[in-house]
Amino acid sequence: MWLHTKDTFFFSGGDAISMNVGTTIIKSRHSVRKYKPAPIEEVVIRDVLECARHAPTAMNLQPWLFGVIRDRELLKKIAGLTDHGKFIADAAACFAVCGERKAKYYLEDCCAATETLILALQAYGVGSCWVAGEKKEYAEDVRILLKVPKEYTLVSLVPAGYPADLTIQKKKEVDLTVFYEIYKEE
């Protein structure tokens, strides 16, 4: 099966391990902080939101709200509030993942939704970057700016757009990060 994303074709079939479409998409994801001016198609926005709402949540509470911000002035204001998210100003869209404070595991739930959203965007060839979030002082300022009810808090921002540039970060080798059964020092 051929899978078409914006700029890339992936092939899946035959060797299930080396040519798996899903894992190829997961491994091809990198944070993208420079975007082409092209908008993200509405059908893509809807489908990635559909994917995000399928993320697992503790007790299936789904304690979230997903904001979709495309207004340029609003994007600039959000960017201005962040410390390490100035590139949000130039994104085609920015998702704001908000968690319901009273749900015990809202942070884990919203992080699961954030990663699901990011991977769904990647499946369409749309680049994005996880921008913090919940532990930042500006979380409350962003909530107020977006008029999100106070029962919710910002968990993450996900600016997105078709990639103009990206940096590929080095990752730890799997054998350095994994243990099987009981952990033992070599």
Ligand X SMILES: Cc1cc2nc3c(=O)[nH]c(=O)nc-3n(C[C@H](O)[C@H](O)[C@H](O)COP(=O)(O)O)c2cc1C
Report how far residue 75's alpha carbon sits from residue 30's, in angstroms, rounded to the nearest whole number.
Answer: 22
- Within 93-122, the residues that bind ligand X by CB under 6 A are none
Interface with ligand X includes 31 (CB under 6 A)?
yes
According to DSSP, the residues that pair with 65 across neighbouring strands are: 98
Among residues 6, 21, 30, 66, which is the contact residue for ligand X, using CB under 6 A?
A: 30
Report how far residue 3's alpha carbon sits from residue 86's, in angstroms, rounded to the nearest whole number.
Answer: 33
E strand or H helix at 123, and its extent? helix 106-123
The answer to whether residues 80 and 138 touch, using CB atoms and an 8 Å cutoff, is: no
> Least distance in Å: CB of 32 to ligand X?
8
Among residues 54, 70, 76, 84, which is the contact residue for ligand X, using CB under 6 A?
A: 84
Interface with ligand X includes 126 (CB under 6 A)?
no
E strand or H helix at 23, and its extent? helix 21-28
Q: Which stretch binds ligand X (CB under 6 A): 58-66, 72-80, 98-106, 129-137?
A: 129-137
DSSP 8-class letter at 126: -
Report how far residue 9's alpha carbon sits from residue 112's, in angstroms, rounded to the nearest whole number.
Answer: 27
Interface with ligand X includes 66 (CB under 6 A)?
no
Q: Which stretch binds ligand X (CB under 6 A): 3-11, 123-131, 143-151, 176-184?
A: 123-131
Judged by the rule CB under 6 A, the positions of this chain that interact with ligand X are: 30-31, 33, 84-85, 129-133, 169
